[in-house]
């Protein structure tokens, strides 16, 4: 099944040091190592950008807020999934069409949605908003990318940007992206990566600089997540694997079971056995909260 989220699933979201978790239908939000705080209920997907938080209600309404969730506003409705990052916001509507919202900086004090959304494509399975390039996957499992290519973000061997979305991979069921790099999960369970790899989020593929073509990282995966400098995969047996900065270039198992995972800057959050876990790269997972009704 394709993954409709920025992370390995709709229940967790991370962007640098900002986190959201969905326990049951209740949203918990926190920064860094602060304690999670309950924000709202009736939610089925969470997401987080540079300074805004997002939630998809059970009615299909996409909400956003900055500091105060009580002042959240509805961006649009009839949404089945959404994807966010520093450079914008994607929403897939119930008719499988992909729409993009642009964000604008508020002079260093946050971000705001700018203007009306515009339709990007139809018949879409999943998508991802990166810091420099954006991606979407069609229901035919074809991956398309548009944006900057200076770090090899397209995976087509070139370092020049296209004037429109171009196809660069096939048989894809999930794509995640971050600071100049991207990972894809194919139908056969293999995970591939391209783009900037100074700290190792792509494993040994182009390590120390960048990879300009898609390269194999790990196999037997069921879902993936990536942060600014490390990446993770949940394998088909439920085990969680990690690689990148402070973790090494070769994927290694860090938890026996995990149902969801999201990566930030140097921290990771995961759901396992009705418990929410968090840890810094190079450390072991620590339980921070019970999360029942997963």
Domains and CATH numbers, the chain: 12-290 (2.130.10.30)
Q: Are 117 and 100 in contact (CB under 8 A)?
A: yes
Q: Nearest-5° angle of CA 164, CA 168, CA 172? A: 120
Q: Which pLDDT score, from 0 to 100, does residue 275 have?
A: 96
**Entry pTM:** 0.95
Q: Which pLDDT score, from 0 to 100, does residue 53 have?
A: 93
Coil, helix or strand at residue 69 = helix
CB-CB neighbours of 72 under 10 Å: 18
Q: Which pLDDT score, from 0 to 100, does residue 6 have?
A: 83
Average pLDDT over residues 84-112: 80
Tens of pLDDT, residue by residue over 238-272, are: 999 999 999 999 999 999 999 999 999 999 999 99
Antiparallel, parallel or unpaired: β 143-147 and 133-138: antiparallel
Q: Are 64 and 40 in contact (CB under 8 A)?
A: no
Q: Is the pLDDT of residue 193 over 70?
A: yes
Q: Which pLDDT score, from 0 to 100, does residue 109 have?
A: 44
- Long-range contact set of residues 99-106: C-beta below 8 Å, sequence gap at least 24: 100/134, 101/75, 103/49, 103/50, 103/52
Measured CA to CA, the distance from residue 118 to residue 48 in angstroms comes to 21
Q: Which pLDDT score, from 0 to 100, does residue 105 have?
A: 58
At 24, the pLDDT band (50, 70, 90 cuts) reads very high
Cβ burial of 39 (10 Å; 0-12, 13-18, 19+) is buried
Q: Is the pLDDT of residue 221 over 80?
A: yes
Coil, helix or strand at residue 227 = coil
* Type and span of the H or E element at 250: strand 248-255
Q: Is the pLDDT of residue 164 over 80?
A: yes
Which two three-digit tokens encode residue 200? 């190792």
Q: Which pLDDT score, from 0 to 100, does residue 238 have?
A: 97
The pLDDT > 70 percentage for the chain reads 96
Residue with tokens 């390269």: 215
Average pLDDT over residues 205-213: 97
Q: Is the pLDDT of residue 208 over 50?
A: yes
Q: Which pLDDT score, from 0 to 100, does residue 111 have?
A: 60
DSSP 277: E
Mean pLDDT, rounded, of the chain? 93
At 293, the pLDDT band (50, 70, 90 cuts) reads low
Q: Is the pLDDT of residue 51 over 50?
A: yes
Average pLDDT over residues 204-209: 96
Tens of pLDDT, residue by residue over 100-158, are: 998 765 544 456 776 789 999 999 999 999 988 999 999 999 999 999 999 999 999 99
Average pLDDT over residues 204-224: 97
At 43, the pLDDT band (50, 70, 90 cuts) reads very high
């Amino acid at each position: 099944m394709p993954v409709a989220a920025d992370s390995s699933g709709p229940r967790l979201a991370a962007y640098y040091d900002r986190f959201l978790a969905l326990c049951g239908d209740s949203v918990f939000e926190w920064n860094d190592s602060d304690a999670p705080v309950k924000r709202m209920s009736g939610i089925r997907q969470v997401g987080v950008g540079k300074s805004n938080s997002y939630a998809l209600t059970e009615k299909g309404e996409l909400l956003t807020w900055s500091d105060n969730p009580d002042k959240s506003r509805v961006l649009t409705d009839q949404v089945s999934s959404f994807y966010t990052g520093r450079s914008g916001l994607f929403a897939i509507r119930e008719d499988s069409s992909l729409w993009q919202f642009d964000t604008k900086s508020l002079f260093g004090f946050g971000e705001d949605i700018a203007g009306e959304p515009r339709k990007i494509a139809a018949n879409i399975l999943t998508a991802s908003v990166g810091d420099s390039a954006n991606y979407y996957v069609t229901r035919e499992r074809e991956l398309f990318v548009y944006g900057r290519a200076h770090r090899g973000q397209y995976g087509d061997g070139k370092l020049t940007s296209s004037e429109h979305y171009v196809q660069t991979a096939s048989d894809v069921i999930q794509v995640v992206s971050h600071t100049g790099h991207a990972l894809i999960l194919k139908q056969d369970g293999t995970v591939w990566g391209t783009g900037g790899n100074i700290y190792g989020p792509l494993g040994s593929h182009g390590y120390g600089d960048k990879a300009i073509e898609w390269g194999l990282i790990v196999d037997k995966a069921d879902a993936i997540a990536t942060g600014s400098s490390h990446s993770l995969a949940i394998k088909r047996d439920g085990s969680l694997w990690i690689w990148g900065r402070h973790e090494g270039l070769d994927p290694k198992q860090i938890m026996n079971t995990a149902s969801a995972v999201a990566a930030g800057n140097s921290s990771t959050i995961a759901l396992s056995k009705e418990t929410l876990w968090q840890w810094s790269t190079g450390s072991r997972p620590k339980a921070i909260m019970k999360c029942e009704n997963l």
